[in-house]
Copies of this chain bind each other. A is one copy, B any other.
Amino acid sequence: MLTLYSFGPGANSLKPMATLYEKGLEFKQHFIDPSKFEQHSDWFKAINPRGQVPALQHEGKIITESTVICEYLEDVFPDQNPLRPADPYQRAQMRVWTKWVDEYFCWCVSTIGWAFGIKKIAQAMTDDEFEAHLKNVPIPEQPVKWRRARNGFPQEILDEEIRKGGVSVQRLEGTLSKQDYLLETGFSLADICNFAIANGMQREGGFFPEQVNEKATPGLIAWIDRINARPAIQKMFAEAKREEILKHTEKETAA
C-alpha cells in the first residue's frame, strides 16, 4: 500500500504524484491542508519530523524529499513505465536536471509563490495565531520566510529571484527549442521535476509572463502543453485534491 502525504498537484508535491500517475500505481492521496498548517501538526511531524510534504508511506516506512521519492518509486517499480533512462550517461543527465531544479530553479518560483500565495495564508491569521504557529515550525530557517510572506519580501530579493527565473527559463528553452523532452531518450523524471515548477509560469496575470510566452519561449510553452496533454497528467489534475485558498490565486492570475 502506497500513501502520499502532499499538498495539491503543484511544486514539490506534484513530483511524486505525477510519477505515481505516470507509472500507473495505485495509491492513496492524503491531502495535507496548508491553510490549517497540517504539515506542522504533531501527528504529521511524527511522520516527517521536518514538517514538510511530500512524504510517501510504503510498507510501513516513510520516504521524504520529493526527488528522492521519485527515484525510490523507480527503484521499487522499475518495470512499470520506466521514467529513468536505462543508459547511465542519460541517467546522469536526468540527475543534472533534477538536481538543478532543487538547487536553483525551484527557489525563484517558490519565493514568488511565498510572496503572493503563502502570503494569503500568513495574513489570514491574527498576530497571536501567527506567532503561535511559528513555534510549531521545525526547520530553524523557515520562520524567516514565514515572516517575509506575512510582512512582504524585500523588493531586491523579489527582483533577484525574477532574474534567476529568467536564467532558468532560458536554460529550459535552450534544450526544448530542439527536442520534445529534456532528454533525447524521451519523457523522464527530468521532465516531471521541471514541469512541477514551470507549469503555471506561462499563465497570464502571473509573475513570469514576460519571460514565458509563445514568442520568447515557444519550445518551453509547447513542452508545458505537451505534458499537460498526457493522459496520466490529465487524470492527476482531475482527481487530486487541491488547496481551496490557492484556487483563488489561480483564478486571479488566470483572469
- Give the interface of A toward B (CB within 8 A): 58, 61, 63-65, 67-69, 71-72, 75-76, 88-89, 91-92, 95-96, 99, 102-103, 140, 167
Contacts and interface: CB of A to CB of B under 8 A. Distances in A.
B76 A95 contact: no
Main secondary structure on chain A at its contact with chain B?
A: helix
Given A71-B95, A75-B92, 14 more contacts: A58-B89, A65-B95, A65-B99, A67-B95, A67-B99, A69-B92, A71-B92, A72-B88, A72-B89, A75-B91, A99-B102, A102-B103, A103-B103, A140-B167
A75 B88 contact: yes
Contacts of A65: 95-96, 99
Nearest to A167: B140
Contact of A92 (B68, B89, B95, B102): B68
Contacts of A167: 140
B99 A76 contact: no
A88 B76 contact: yes
A155 to B, nearest CB: 18
Contacts of A69: 92
A48 B229 CA distance: 35
A195 B218 CA distance: 44
15 contacts: A61-B89, A63-B89, A63-B92, A65-B95, A65-B99, A67-B99, A68-B96, A69-B92, A71-B91, A72-B91, A75-B88, A75-B91, A76-B88, A102-B103, A140-B167
A72 B99 contact: no
